[in-house]
Each structure stands twice: as C-alpha cells, then as structure tokens.
Structure 1
Amino acid sequence: MITAIVLIQTVADRLTEAAQEVADIDGVAEVYSCAGDVDLIAILRVTNHEDIADIVPGRINKVAGVLDTDTHIAFRSYSSQDTEATFSLGLE
C-alpha cells in the first residue's frame, strides 16, 4: 500500500464542497480541513504510483475551487497505532 499526503489550497467559498468532492474520489482515504498554510490535507492510499498520478492531477486538481496541490509520498509509518497493531495477539 502506498500512502501519499496531498496539501491542497482552495478558494475560501468552496472549501467545504471541495473537501467533500475530494473525499469522494476513489483512493482518497481521508480529508482534513485545517488551519495554517494549507486549506485541506488529503491522505491517499493506493496500490500503485500510477494511481497517484491519476488521482492528483487527473481528479483532485479538477475539483472546482482547488487552486494548488503539493504531494508528498510516504516511505514508512512510525505511528504508535501501527506498532500496537503489529504486536497485538488479539487476546483480551
């Protein structure tokens, strides 16, 4: 599984609609609205790098209100949640 983080700039009056449209795209696992330098952060989880090439320029950048994207591909996860799942035996 390949994870990509897409930072998205939108026009202010389309932020909510753009977020929902991006969230509805196959391969987009989560979308967060946030404060700071970007308006939305989308988490993509796909099986091939080509999927990212289809999703970001082919779908996300065409959503009305999206001004710009900046894509980062994750190499490894250091999440404590992933670590706990790895060592869990499923016993209560």
Structure 2
Amino acid sequence: MVTSIILINTERGYINEVAETLAGMSEISEVYSVSGAYDLIAVARVKTNDDLSTLVTRNLLKIENILHTETMLAFQVFSKHDLEAMFSLGAS
C-alpha cells in the first residue's frame, strides 16, 4: 500500500465543500481542516504509485476550488495500529 499526505489550499470560502468532495473519494481515507499555511490535509492510501499519480494529476484536478496541492509520500509508518490490516478488511 502507498500512503501519501496531500496538503491542499482552496479558494476562500470553499474549504468545507472541497473537504466533503475529498472525503467521498475511495482513495482518500481521512481529510482534516487545519490551521497554518494549508487549508486541508488529505491522507491517501492506494495500491500503487501509478494509482497515486492518477489521483493527484487527474482526479484532484477535477475538483473545483483547489488552488494548490503538495503531495508527500510516506516511507514508513510509526503507529500502534496495524493500518495495513485495517484497510485490507473486506478487500478482494
């Protein structure tokens, strides 16, 4: 599984609308509204780097009111939770 963190700036007044659109995407596991330089942080979990490329360069471009994104690829997870097992439940 490929995990990435996507930092997002939106048009003023559209944070909630963009967040709801992102949260409805199967590749996005979490969306946070945050303080600081960015408006939203989305956590994406996909099977391959090609899937991540499609998500960022095609699917996110279709969402109106996103001004800028910065995508960071996660190398290693440090968590008490077995995220791989959690996200593979019911997967075929």
- The TM-score with structure 2 as length reference comes to 0.83
2:32 counterpart SS class: strand
Report what 1:39 is aligned to.
39
User: What percent identity do the matched residue pairs reach?
Assistant: 37
1:21-63 Cα offsets, whole Å, 9 max, x none, are 1111221111101010100000001111011111112112321
In structure 2, how many angstroms separate the alpha carbons of the residues matched to 1:44 and 1:72?
10
- The TM-score with structure 1 as length reference comes to 0.83
| Number of residues of Structure 1 aligned to a counterpart in Structure 2 | 83
Backbone CA RMSD of aligned residues? 1.4
Gaps of 5+ in 1: 86-92
Max radius of gyration: which structure? 1
Q: Detail structure 1 runs of 4+ shifted over 2 Å in the superposition.
A: none
Gaps of 5+ in 2: 86-92
